[in-house]
Amino acid sequence: MENDKEVLVKVEGVSKKFARDLKRSLRYGVQDLTREVLGRPRVDKLRKSEFWALSDVNFEIRRGECYGLIGHNGAGKSTILKIINGLLKPDQGKVTVKGKVAALIELGAGFNPILTGRENIYNNASVLGFTKEETDARLNEIIAFSELGEFIDAPVQSYSSGMKVRLGFSVAAQMDPDVLIIDEVLAVGDVFFRNKCINRISELKKNCAIIFVSHSINLVGLICSDAVVMDKGRVVCASKSIGESYMKFLELRESGQGFISGDSLLQEIQLRQEGRKIDVVEAYSTVDIFIRFSQPVNAYLTLVIFDLSQRPVLSILDFNYENIQGSEFIINDFKIDLVPGQYSFSVNLITEYQGKLIEKIMEAGKFRVNGKDFLWSPTVVKYRYNMLS
């Protein structure tokens, strides 16, 4: 069974540079193409306005593995995917890919807008290397999975973004590729189809290599066996521990109090332990939450904690739904029942409970939670189970 674990994608010392100026980019492209035709080596040094989008990237993916590729915008994720898929050529290094590759890199990429969904199925399948007879045999499965119904014979230019995702994923997933590349497209579309895609990915990864790019660490933790963290064109972490990779990803995120403007009523929000301000707290420990305003307020205060994906995790309300009155407040002994990750506060001031909004500040304060429970649900409540039989 050694062949089941063969390397299907191997990235060796890959670097890629781009020019920030469009005219220079076109000129450099012509120059590089001319040098290649004449058999001369490429220019390795950066020219004016150029920068390295990728720098010495190395990793390999075996059959049966699903790599999560995470990083902030501009980290180089999409660039390396396009090189693996053959859309871009590296300036240095090489990429080796075995078997048939199905890629969902850009929404609607590869579709002819004036052709119908059915006709585009045949086009995409032929690009993957399948014959018309092989596509005929799987056509009904593809259409059924896409759930497009009668729209399958409508021009793709009339499709919504969610319908394009349905069609693209259905073709890629039902043709059983050796390598499947998915770049953030599952962020579009309804939750039911997304869950259907996740289940299909779980089936596919038994026999193929998958590269999955997402800003949702929950999806990465659910689907992937390994995670690669990229920053500024480099691989800064590659691990089979999704939690370890996630914590490295958090380290790359800028820390700070948040985005409180000078004319805001809110002047400060911070976590404290033993009277000292902290930005990092251990899971399940208790903290005090200190809040200060520029002037005394008479309003109803709501604090909402958001996770890194900007999903609301929990709300902190006054016990009796009463207005606060004053300029400084503290919530004592607040227990941090949160999984490891980075979180932020949203502060909402309204005239009274469910009244008129006075002020709302997103990411008013940031903090990080450390711990071991990487469960991919933002909150954790620990109870003891009592055996009944």
Question: Tokens 């915008």 identify what position?
Answer: 73
Instruction: Give the end-to-end CA distance of the chain in Å, rounded to a whole number.
Output: 43
What interhelical angle do 161-174 and 191-204 show, nearest 10? 20
Question: Which pair of tokens denotes residue 326?
Answer: 């004053």
- The pLDDT value given to residue 282: 92
Residues spanned by CATH 3.40.50.300 within the chain? 2-252
Q: Who wins on pLDDT, 259 or 144?
A: 144
What average pLDDT score do residues 35-56 get? 80
pLDDT tens readout for residues 321-364: 889 899 999 999 999 988 888 899 999 899 888 888 888 888 88
* Whole-number Å distance between alpha carbons of 309 and 139: 37
Is pLDDT above 70 for 211?
A: yes
Q: Would you call 290 helix, strand, or coil by DSSP?
A: strand
Is pLDDT above 80 for 115?
A: yes
Which of the 8 DSSP states describes residue 156?
G
Which residue type does 1 have? M
- The pLDDT value given to residue 256: 47
CATH code of 2-252, in short, is 3.40.50.300
pLDDT tens readout for residues 58-67: 999 999 899 9
Look at residues 52, 54, 45 and name the one whose alpha carbon lies nearest to residue 14. 54
pLDDT tens readout for residues 140-185: 998 998 888 889 999 988 888 788 888 888 888 887 788 988 887 6
Q: For CA atoms 93, 94, 95, 96, give the dihedral sign.
A: negative
Show the DSSP H helices in the chain as ranges.
Answer: 22-37, 77-84, 117-127, 132-146, 161-174, 191-204, 217-223, 242-252
User: Which positions ≥6 away from 21 have C-beta within 8 Å?
Assistant: 49
Q: Is 274 left (phi over 0), alpha (psi -120 to 50) or beta?
A: left
Question: Tokens 């052709």 identify what position?
Answer: 115
Residues spanned by CATH 2.60.40.2550 within the chain? 266-370
Which residue type does 241 have? S
User: Which residues on adjacent β-strands are paired with residue 95?
Assistant: 11
Q: What is the pTM (predicted TM-score) of this model?
A: 0.69
Pick the CATH number of 266-370 from 2.60.120.10, 1.10.3720.10, 2.60.40.2550, 3.90.1280.10: 2.60.40.2550
